[in-house]
Structure 1
Amino acid sequence: MRSDGGRAAVFAPLESGRRADAVVRRLADGIALGLLVPDEQLPSETELADTFGVSPVTVREALTALREQGLVATRRGRGGGSFVRDARAGASALHERLRAVSPSELRDLADHYVAVTGTAALLAADRAGAQDVALLTAGVGELERATDAGGRRRAESRFHVELAAAAQSPRLTRAEIALQTEVGPLLWLPTATPAAQAEQVRQHAAIVEAVAAGDGQRARAHAVAHVYAALARASVLQLGLLGQLDPDED
């Protein structure tokens, strides 16, 4: 099992006093972001217990909850175990989530997102190693190769998680993962034209270039501009869904 980049945050030890719901949240977030991919076999219950610093009973309870949510399937016999199911939210479900959020709440979520992502970019420029930069560069390529809206959303989310991981701060990475599952899919929901996708790729590349150059202020500025540009697109989509956008407006 790989333990580099954002995946490391998924399997990081839990804080003391946390119980099965914390294990559920950690694994569910990893699945939602594509850090744990469909049909991937999870570590054994014993390995997960050791990794998270909880009892096997707690892990068993968490896996039961994940099965009930349709996120994990258990297979018996040789080669059996717990496997990730493909349970990613589609555009229609995300549209409903966007309708349910008020414009002011969406802006507030984006402001929180900017605070975390901007700080991650700033610290990554000072702390990232060669492997971190390589993961970020691979993330740029993943977004460039994305051929559908779901693939683009997952590439966006994973890039930002890897950016936080490059800051070498487990708490910051966990905060980024939580934000990606809460607001990330909404910000990356609007359909991208080829030109828009190319611009998003350019923005990612600019962040990586600044991180690789060790220029924290430039990396932060690019990350902040990238998120607020996404907010502007999501706000237009939201107003359209709420019937508050003049259909003759661009």
Structure 2
Amino acid sequence: MLKDASQARRQPKPAAGQADEHSPRRLRAAMFAPIANAAGASIIVTRLRTAIDLGFFSDGELLPKEAVLADELNVGVFSVREALAQLRSEGLVETRAGRGGGTVVRRRSTLVHETSLRMLREISSVSLRDLSDWRSMLLAESAALAARRSSGPNLQRLIEYVGRIKSSAGQSDASRAHARFDIELASAAQSVRLTSAILDMYEKFAWLLGLGHASEDYRKDTEKTLRLLVKALEARDENLATSHARKHASQTFDYLVRLRLRTIAEHSS
């Protein structure tokens, strides 16, 4: 996995008009790029958590050795060890002893979901609304630009991610495909800044945005709206694409508001 990232960073710059052809590879490279300024464990935790959330490490996969991770991220082994300890406390990884053991990804851990619900209860309604406004703006602008600039490979990947949401076995798979859709939408807009902003949003709030996919109804609504969004992109209909993007952001916000109120009520009863 990390070798793939290193190779991706050494790829020659694509020619004009071909910048989107290796979008997943570039994203993977960004996730495992060296961390500057001798950052502490918190940034390593964010990187690894996001890599797991976006599917660069699958459930049950053995992570590279601590020394390999430290070398790839340009950080100290002790910082990596601290980061892995934090991820263990969140239920995202576990350690297996003995021959062939190591740190294993546990994306479907019940503890991950319970921790996310607790964090949802603690977030204020104003903060939740503010995040929704920010996400709506990012997705709408990405959709508008993608209607003008997206390529065939972009649209194929978007269709693929919508299909993964529909065929997902549960929350983990659906939320991962959904995150990849949002990031690919920004990539289809051919905007480095939009892609960076959406990736940053998922680094901070993937735990929150993935909660909706615990509901089968939400997954169905998401798949339907995103499929309509892709059709608008294929038709180069900028206004319709923007409308579907805003509708989708609103769907997520409405569901999270209801879920937050329900979990608060259940927790206090």
Instruction: Give the TM-score of the pair, scaled to structure 2.
Output: 0.70
Give 5+ residue unaligned stretches, structure 2.
Answer: 9-21
1:11 counterpart residue number: 29
Pairing 1:25–2:42 present: no
1:112 counterpart residue number: 134
Give 5+ residue unaligned stretches, structure 1.
Answer: 245-250
1:203 counterpart residue number: 225
Pairing 1:68–2:85 present: yes
Say whether the 8 Å CA contact 1:132–1:166 is kept in structure 2. Answer: yes
2:58 counterpart residue number: 37
TM-superposition CA deviations, 1:155-191 (whole Å, max 9, x none): 2222212212222333322321232243344344244
Q: Matched residues in 2 for 1:129 and 1:226: separation?
A: 22
Say whether the 8 Å CA contact 1:114–1:224 is kept in structure 2. Answer: yes
Say whether the 8 Å CA contact 1:36–1:84 is kept in structure 2. Answer: no
TM-superposition CA deviations, 1:93-150 (whole Å, max 9, x none): 2211110011121111111111222222222222222221111111011000012223
Name the amino acid aligned to 1:97: M
TM-superposition CA deviations, 1:46-71 (whole Å, max 9, x none): 89968x7xx5xx26565434433346
1:248 counterpart residue number: none
1:141 counterpart residue number: 163
Q: Matched residues in 1 for 2:191 and 2:93: separation?
A: 28
Which of 213, 224, 240 pairs up with 1:218?
A: 240
Give the Å deviation of 1:36.
3.2
Say whether the 8 Å CA contact 2:44–2:83 is kept in structure 1. Answer: no
Q: Give the share of equivalent positions with the same residue, in percent.
A: 26
Q: Matched residues in 1 for 2:67 and 2:149: separation?
A: 34
* More helix per residue: 2
- Please give the residue correspondences for 1:156-171 in structure 2 after superposition, counting only pairs within 5 Å: 156-171=178-193
What RMSD, in angstroms, separates the aligned Cα atoms of the two structures? 3.6
2:215 counterpart residue number: 192
Say whether the 8 Å CA contact 2:66–2:77 is kept in structure 1. Answer: no
Higher normalized contact order (CA 8 Å, seq sep 6+, divided by chain length): 1
Going from structure 1 to structure 2, the CA distance change for 1:163 and 1:92 (only over 3 Å counts) comes to same
1:86 counterpart residue number: 106
